[in-house]
Amino acid sequence: MKNTIIKKSNLEILNLFRKNIFLSKTIREIALMAKKDYPTVYNAVKELEETGILQTKTAGHAKLCTISLTNNAVSILSFLDEQEALSKALPNTDKIMEFKEFEDDILLITGSYAKSSQTRQSDMDLVVIAKDKAFEKQKLLESLTALFLPKIHPMVITYTDFIDMLLEKKASFGKEIFNNRLLLRNASRYYLLLKEATENGFRG
């Protein structure tokens, strides 16, 4: 990751955009969302813009702030996502991270465990987004996680599958992932797929 230091006071602002990459708000609106005073948010936006993470454009008499998925932004967002996922200390994630067969793939959790709304009866929805060989990896993942408790509900999809799901007009599994996920590994590749989808018309 590029050596960009994000102040703790700016992280709350950045996290608003990390949770919704399509967020487009004025500084005053962001201040209301973050429950911070205008000067604090103004300075945070200015600093995040200087690092290439946020961008602003004039809309009437105000400036609209949006996230810019530059390489630097992707690196920082990915780091924050993976740190958040690891901080949850979800069951068996340490074992899942040791699966060498999936070390080049995007690993994430979705469903109730990602929302922190799981019950004792909940399965953990584990998703692998792989470049290819989805069928073979699906069978392997099912085998590796068969004895895990809580029960794992594994799903393997390809990069192309994920982008196609995002571009569907109706609700899809890809959009469910977009709206609710904990990224365990290779989050930067996830963001690059999102970037490709947005370039092809995906808007959330």
96 and 182 housed in the same domain: yes
Q: Is residue 97 part of a domain?
A: yes
Q: Is residue 167 part of a domain?
A: yes
Q: Is the pTM of this model over 0.75?
A: yes
Convert the pLDDT of each residue in 94-112 to its tens digit: 999 999 999 999 999 999 9
Convert the pLDDT of each residue in 24-68 to its tens digit: 999 999 999 999 999 999 999 999 999 999 999 998 888 899 999
Query: Does residue 180 contact residue 114 with C-beta atoms inside 8 Å?
Result: yes
Helices 27-34 and 38-50, axial angle in degrees (round to 10): 110
Convert the pLDDT of each residue in 104-133 to its tens digit: 999 999 999 999 999 999 999 999 999 999
Write down which residue in 45, 67, 89 finishes a domain: 67
Q: How many CB atoms lie within 10 A of CB 104?
A: 11
Pairing assessment for the beta strands 124-130 and 152-158 based on DSSP bridges: parallel
- The number of domains in the chain is 2
Q: In what order do the strands lie in the sheet with 124-130?
A: 152-158, 124-130, 106-110, 182-185
Give kind and range of the element (H or E) at residue 187: helix 187-199
